[in-house]
Chains A and B, each alone.
Chain A
Amino acid sequence: MSRPKTPYVAPEERAVPDLDSGKYLVMWQGPNHPGITGNMSLRLVIEGDSVVDCETHVGYLHRGFEKLMERRLWMQNFPLVCRIAVPEPDFNEYCYAAALEELAGIEVPDKAVWLRTLSLEMIRLASFLMWIGGQAGAFGHGTIAQWSVTMRDYVLDLFEELSGGRIYHMYIIPGGVRADVPPGFLRHVLETMTVVEQNLKDIELVMFHNAVMKMRAVGLGYIPPDWVDRYGITGPNARAAGFKRDLRKDRGYLAYPRLSFEPVVGAESDAFERARLRLAEMFQGIDLIRQIVDFLPSEGPFRERLPNPLHWKIPAGETYVAAECTRGEYGFYVVSDGGDKPRRVAVRGPSYTHAVSVMERLVRGVNIADVAGLMVSLHTYPPEIER
């Protein structure tokens, strides 16, 4: 495409607009705005229809999870952590459980490893399906959102069947998982994957071979590759800038070393490239789910017996466990002082970087109509910013 990349303004070169000059308009986008993907605000300074300055404002969604966890027993935090990133609860569950298991020296049964992997890949697909609807909607394609949210609901149906919950699955419990797959579940998974794959092909056709989408997304929100390490950009945002980084490969946790896949890498690093890359990851996710269904052991325990959760004490120590979520590196830093409650938990959500510092810098010079599309192209979830 011929359209130039959004001009890059280095932080130190940040222009300070003179608000008293009458040239500018201060406009708040959020905290309730579909383009924000959650409760968060952008304070935009506008000149004409271009953004000249932006400040990100968070604090609308602060629930103090990390502090709450210090007052709850190790096991009582299990139903709490899933709420930190609402659309992808399972990554919280996994990271928390894995951190505890590492500190307490617990080996998780193989079956639980596979079921955890299945659960994470299913939620990755569901989360991407919600994102793609938002991304298309931000550029004026409400129809695609209707399709993709339907597909996401089909995946949530699977979660309902597996775990008993649609949004908060609370399935990955320290020690393993809470239940084996119900009868007929794997067949339902495969059937659903066929439907979702077909729909994704339709979405690919109408969204990525689309003049409006291309005109608005190509070149929007260009992330220079040297930002990636400077800002700690991870996940598809980094891969679209040409970095072959994927924790599933790099850290090799759960059953990923036993699955065959290659991280998808892009080069253009703009909104369109990121969208295309995520679409490719969705197809890849469907393939991974099919592989997992093939590999899933039919026999064996799904949970290691743990001490009584009311008295469970974990030996003093600290650990950091990370997993590759849809947005990048999702991690839990957990400290135990040997007691029955965590001494400290810190959650590392990729949205913190992407939605606060990166967004502030990317948005300068962007047309206000594209701010929402840009925000969505970074794929951020404000709930995980405010733990």
Chain B
Amino acid sequence: MDIKDIIAPFAVWKRAFEKPFTVRKPIDERPGAPRYRGFHINDADTCVGCGTCESICMNKAIDLVPVEGRSPSGGDSGLRPRVDYGRCCWCALCVDICPSGSLGMSNEYLWIDSDPEVFRYVPGVDPKPWDGAELGYRRAEGYRLLDMERVPMPELSHAEGVKSFLELVKGYSREQAEREADRCVACGVCVASCPAHMDIPGYINAVRGGDLETGLRLLYETNPFPEACGRICTRACESACAIGSGGDPVAIRWLKRYIADQVELADYGKSLPRAESATGRKVAVVGAGPGGLSAAYYLALLGHKVTVFEKDEAPGGMLRYGIPEYRLPYPALDKDVDYIRSLGVEIRHGATVGKDPALAKLREDFDAVYLSTGLPSAYRLDVPGDEHPRVLDGVAVLAAATRGEELGLGRRVAVVGGGNVAMDAARTALRRGCEVDIVYRRRQVDMPADPEEIREAKAEGARLIERAIPLRVEDSGDGGARFVWNEAEMVQKEPGKRPVPEPIPGAVVTERYDSIIAAIGQGPELSYITEADGVEVRRMKPVTDRTGRTSVPTVFAGGDLVNEKKDAISAIADGHRAARAIDRILGGRGD
């Protein structure tokens, strides 16, 4: 034993008077570190209620609950995460994974209350002192658990694409499709936004797992046009996609196409349901567009005998005659239609209902009738001179292109309008070697066309003339027409509504064109409904209930003719809904 061993321990006294490290609460403040994982905060307006936080939480501490003042709308479930601090372990994986980036944590760590119930609350909705805290845990820069970038789709270059009517989009390879499918968080917000309520997370999961037969079966549960919709769907799902709230939405449309492309038509029967035994009931469908054929498919599955009456020489309606083949090649459309036909659906071409046969005859010969005649005719420009022979109907131009007819557009072409028909007409004209101006009343951002189509039309060489209000069409005297428009400025006339183009006095422009294609909107053709049929029509639309039933109990209607969205997927959804309703009136269970 050393003498040092006796004395050294007394050195502890040197610290007797040092300031302690402990904090005297509440006299001293001791804030959490800037990254501290304290109580949750949520920007409830940015949050889309996708529930990915709930999925990743290993403690099941998060529940998505309805909150006051929020209701489901496209891309927002209307729910918000509620955190239960009896279960939370403050790991912040919820913050890391949050697609919209709305979740965070404050650096607040003290919360004392005698009521245990308060420790379960909805951040951002139930007010808390740490709401909007600047400091606290946030996802670090450059760190994401989810892949926010879409797998690029291989496409023809614009220079290449405009030379022919070859399909532009080449489709995903298996590796690409599976990688893209992996980005999905299966929140299901998209399902609510899809008019047909397709099981999107289900078929994406099938892609991920390489189980395309299940994928195809899920597609056909609500949509017998996967090849077509996999190419041209307006994809409300992608606008709703939760991943899109913080990055590129999942390429739902391309994944649908991937499934349909990968399975051979001959193999469809292996995964798709067989038709039920024949019921002996007969249904007539007017119009072989996506809506009519969708109704036909589901009616045929339920065992009914379906006859489709179509005025054109080929089936598909607007999918064939309105959408150019570089977006939807005919073999792809034929594959969808051929499968529907394989169930025994008969399509009678060249049969214009109203002329031959009359609607009354169909009502007599069939147990039920489904009207799905769409919007076949383009509206006029509605300016003086719009009956000039060089003013063409956009829908007719596209149909003529489908039929392979000579369009005779000339060299310089103006397309008037900002919808998809206008873009398709412009791009068709470009492919026929024309110089194309797209003339639109408002701005590019106001165009109802798919932004992708606008971008591509411009990239392929179309010139976009915005804020141009058509005034009149004059004859140029040399076989063309002079198009006169007034330049406009956008005026916000009413708060909360979209701005209105107001002509700038004197700013009148005149351009000579060989053809002017009107694509400002389309209208229905309803002359086949007679007063004796008794189908109530209001504002040029048959009046229907939720199931598509008109004022005549055995007559149903749907598609562009009736619904507001006027796109293929809504028509398909209408057809499916009407098929179930028709089945019910024919004595079936309607499922």
Contact = CB atoms under 8 A, between A and B. Distances in A.
B241 interface: no
Contacts of A147: 15
A206 B12 CA distance: 7
A307 B93 contact: no
Nearest to A147: B15
Most buried by A among B6, B58, B182: B58
B34 interface: yes
B291 to A, nearest CB: 35
Given A178-B143, A182-B35, A210-B5, A308 B185 contact: yes
A209 B8 contact: yes
B339 interface: no
A78 B21 CA distance: 32
B574 interface: no
A209 B96 CA distance: 50
A10 interface: no
B35 A308 contact: no
Given A75-B93, A182-B34, A310 B5 contact: no
B183 interface: yes
A101 to B, nearest CB: 15
A308 B58 contact: no
A164 B140 contact: no
Nearest to B5: A211
Interface in B18-61: 21, 32-37, 52, 55-58
B147 A308 contact: yes
Interface residues of B, number: 46
B147 A305 contact: yes
Interface in B65-104: 89-93, 96-97
Contacts, number: 115
Contacts of A302: 140, 142-143
B93 A76 contact: yes
A201 B433 CA distance: 87
Given A161-B35, A310-B52, A310-B56, A143 B146 contact: no
A308 B12 contact: no
Contacts of B21: 150, 153-154
Contacts of A75: 56, 93, 145
B1 interface: yes
Contact of B186 (A78, A80, A157, A310): A310
B11 interface: yes
A63 interface: no
Contacts of A144: 12
A308 B146 contact: yes
Contacts of B140: 178-180, 302
A202 B11 contact: yes
Nearest to B59: A79
Interface string A33-71: 000000000000000000000000000000000000000
Contacts of B587: none
Contacts of A161: 33-35
Interface string A136-172: 0000010110010010011001001111110010100
A180 B183 CA distance: 25
B89 A206 contact: no
B183 A308 contact: yes
A251 interface: no
Nearest to A157: B33
A164 B92 contact: yes
Contacts of A214: 1, 5
Contacts of A160: 32-33, 35-36
Given A75-B93, A211-B9, 19 more contacts: A73-B58, A77-B58, A78-B93, A79-B89, A141-B9, A153-B21, A164-B37, A164-B137, A165-B37, A168-B89, A170-B91, A179-B140, A180-B141, A302-B142, A308-B146, A309-B56, A309-B146, A310-B52, A310-B56
Interface of B: 1-2, 4-6, 8-9, 11-12, 14-15, 21, 32-37, 52, 55-58, 89-93, 96-97, 105, 137, 140-147, 182-186, 208
Closest 9 CB pairs of A and B: A79-B91, A179-B140, A76-B58, A209-B8, A164-B35, A164-B37, A211-B5, A160-B33, A150-B21
10 contacts: A160-B33, A161-B34, A161-B35, A162-B35, A178-B140, A210-B5, A210-B8, A303-B142, A305-B147, A310-B186
